[in-house]
A and B are shown apart, each in its own frame.
Chain A
Amino acid sequence: MYVPDFDYYVPDTLDEACGLLASLGSDAKVLAGGTDVLSKMKNELIAPKALVSLKNIKGIEGITYVPGKGVVIGTRATHNDLVNSDLLQKRYPSISNAAHSLANNQIRNRGTVGGNLVNALPSADLPPILIALDAHVTLVGRYGNRIIPLEEFFVGPSRSAIEPDEILTEIVIPDQATTGSSYFKFGLRRSGALAVVGVAAAVVATGTHVDRARIVLGAVGPVPMRAKKAEQLLEGNVATEAALEEAGRAAAAECRPISDIRGSEEYRRDMVRVFTKRALRKALHLERTPELAKTEGGNGDGTH
């Protein structure tokens, strides 16, 4: 398959890159890992006249802890950088798990976090867990920077709040009190499959008393969405089996799935119920019931 011709730019600085994007207008696309942009160009879904490569721009690829700011993930970090990051493994293993559940090893070695977010697929695996952990993104443009919560970044399927002359440079997970977090994905295969349903949870709890809950659903709406009713049901209450079931049912009721080749609306809702419970249980470090232990090893949280 053929990649149609384009003008190639390799700026050395962000300033230069934003200037190029501004002057090239909507005919230009940012090239990071290329796993998405190049396959779309081959399929003739997009035909940018210019690609602006981020490969020579320094300082946007690391995963670091910045005191007072939080964990900073550079836009050019690959999915396997997230998987292998000691910092994430220690602080937010759920992010490493979500990255590991995505595509296959070759794509994870090349595809970038920034690309995954800007691509804005409703089924993307990173947004739910990053939103559950209150992440925000920095968008750098020619006239300055914007910092927006990731929750507000997605505006529709394959549409985000980024302007054509802006570059998403980093994702920040602010310091927070956290008891635990998790991401559970249901895909049709264990590898190389888009999520049929993805559920992320992040909780702050005292024992089993839930002080704060974040539940974020992927692949069951036009954008990754918080299950706010389910969160409210849990906050201030004890996470009994009955309470988790109630939260699961609330999440199933408030999500907005479509029926497509990967699953019907009805099926997705029921899986939201099941996976919301599983995600909460794991985030709260609750024991699995024998019934759940049996299903372990099938689709799970990306650790398999």
Chain B
Amino acid sequence: MERIEDKHGVKRYLIQITVNGDDRTLLVKANMLLVNVLRDRLDLTGTKKGCELGNCGSCSALLDGKPVNSCLVLAVEADGHEITTIEGVAQSDELDRLQDSFVENAAIQCGYCTPGMILSAKALLTRNPHPTEHEVRQAIAGNLCRCTGYVNIVKAVLAAANRPENEIRGVA
């Protein structure tokens, strides 16, 4: 990771990250947080900022496939890693089955927690395609929904898990 010092003595680092499959090279200060790189530098504003202290999960992103709070990760520490945000879940204009399931089960109220919820659920289904309700609740325990919509969120994740893998949207 190259360090570049400007004429005022401010140090910046050249980081290389892969975001939603695209390789990105960015010049950041050491105190730049990953959440700010995603939102302000890459315009990926689906990643939200809530508590900013790792309690609410609205800034969740997948770092090498695992959910992390992007508000507690320095961009320089993510150098060389792969990041998935909510924008990387759908494939072109085709929603992921989890996203479909959230829509079908009315698992969205204000929507602020939804990107984080979907990423936590996505990581769960990748490692455990048929979780129990208890496992779903544990996987999203770090994502707070203050509309108290947990019942439908859990229902949506379980419904997505139980759908046949090859089901095409719109076909019963």
Does A associate with B in a complex?
yes
- Residue A10, interface by CB 8 Å: yes
Q: Are A104 and B73 in contact (CB under 8 A)?
A: no
Q: Are A105 and B139 in contact (CB under 8 A)?
A: yes
B53 in complex: contacting residue of A39, A105, A191, CB < 8 Å: A39
Cα A104 to Cα B124 with chains together (Å): 14
Cα A39 to Cα B56 with chains together (Å): 13
Q: Are A35 and B142 in contact (CB under 8 A)?
A: no
Q: Are B53 and A106 in contact (CB under 8 A)?
A: no
Q: Are B30 and A110 in contact (CB under 8 A)?
A: no
As a 0/1 sequence over residues 1 to 27 of chain A, the CB contacts with chain B under 8 angstroms (1 = contact) are 111111110100000000000000000
Q: Are B141 and A192 in contact (CB under 8 A)?
A: yes
With most chain B CB atoms within 10 A of its CB, the pick from A8, A104, A107, A192 is A104
Cα A6 to Cα B32 with chains together (Å): 11
Q: Are A1 and B53 in contact (CB under 8 A)?
A: yes
**Smallest beta-carbon distance B83→chain A, Å:** 13
Residues of B near A38 (CB, < 8 A) are 33, 72, 74
A106 in complex: contacting residue of B30, B33, B142, CB < 8 Å: B142
A190 in complex: contacting residue of B1, B60, B77, B141, CB < 8 Å: B141
Q: Are B52 and A5 in contact (CB under 8 A)?
A: no
A109 in complex: contacting residue of B55, B63, B77, CB < 8 Å: B63
**Smallest beta-carbon distance A303→chain B, Å:** 11
With most chain A CB atoms within 10 A of its CB, the pick from B52, B53, B69 is B69
- Residue B13, interface by CB 8 Å: yes
Residues of B near A191 (CB, < 8 A) are 138, 141-142
Q: Are B31 and A3 in contact (CB under 8 A)?
A: yes
- Residue A31, interface by CB 8 Å: yes
Q: Are A106 and B54 in contact (CB under 8 A)?
A: yes
Q: Are B67 and A105 in contact (CB under 8 A)?
A: yes
- Residue B57, interface by CB 8 Å: yes
Q: Are A8 and B69 in contact (CB under 8 A)?
A: no
Residues of A near B39 (CB, < 8 A) are none
Q: Are A1 and B52 in contact (CB under 8 A)?
A: yes
Q: Which residue of A lies closest to B65 (CB)?
A: A109
Q: Are A106 and B77 in contact (CB under 8 A)?
A: no
Cα A104 to Cα B141 with chains together (Å): 6
How many interface residues does chain B have, given as a range? 20 to 34
Q: Are B31 and A42 in contact (CB under 8 A)?
A: no
Q: Are A192 and B142 in contact (CB under 8 A)?
A: yes
Residues of A near B74 (CB, < 8 A) are 3, 8, 31, 34, 38
**Smallest beta-carbon distance B141→chain A, Å:** 3
Q: Are B31 and A5 in contact (CB under 8 A)?
A: yes
Residues of A near B54 (CB, < 8 A) are 35, 39, 103, 106-107
Q: Are B142 and A110 in contact (CB under 8 A)?
A: no
Q: Which residue of A lies closest to B123 (CB)?
A: A105
- Residue B114, interface by CB 8 Å: no
Q: Are B53 and A109 in contact (CB under 8 A)?
A: no
Q: Are B142 and A105 in contact (CB under 8 A)?
A: yes
Residues of A near B67 (CB, < 8 A) are 105-106, 109
B31 in complex: contacting residue of A4, A35, A55, A109, CB < 8 Å: A4
Complex interface residues of chain B between 43 and 84 (CB less than 8 A to chain A)? 52-55, 57, 60, 63, 66-69, 71-74, 76-77
- Residue B120, interface by CB 8 Å: yes
- Residue A299, interface by CB 8 Å: no
- Residue A179, interface by CB 8 Å: no
**Smallest beta-carbon distance B81→chain A, Å:** 10
Q: Are A106 and B31 in contact (CB under 8 A)?
A: no
Q: Are B141 and A110 in contact (CB under 8 A)?
A: no
Contact A39 to B72, CB < 8 A, known contacts A3-B33, A4-B31, A191-B138? yes
Complex interface residues of chain A between 75 and 114 (CB less than 8 A to chain B)? 80, 103-107, 109-110
Complex interface residues of chain A between 124 and 166 (CB less than 8 A to chain B)? none
- Residue B29, interface by CB 8 Å: yes
Contact A105 to B141, CB < 8 A, known contacts A34-B74, A38-B74? yes
8 shortest A-B CB distances, which residue pairs? A104-B142, A191-B141, A8-B30, A1-B52, A3-B31, A109-B66, A106-B142, A106-B69
Q: 16 other contacts beyond A2-B31, A8-B13, A104-B142, with CB at 8 A cut-off?
A: A3-B33, A5-B29, A6-B30, A7-B30, A8-B30, A31-B77, A34-B77, A35-B54, A103-B142, A104-B141, A105-B67, A105-B142, A106-B57, A106-B120, A110-B68, A192-B141
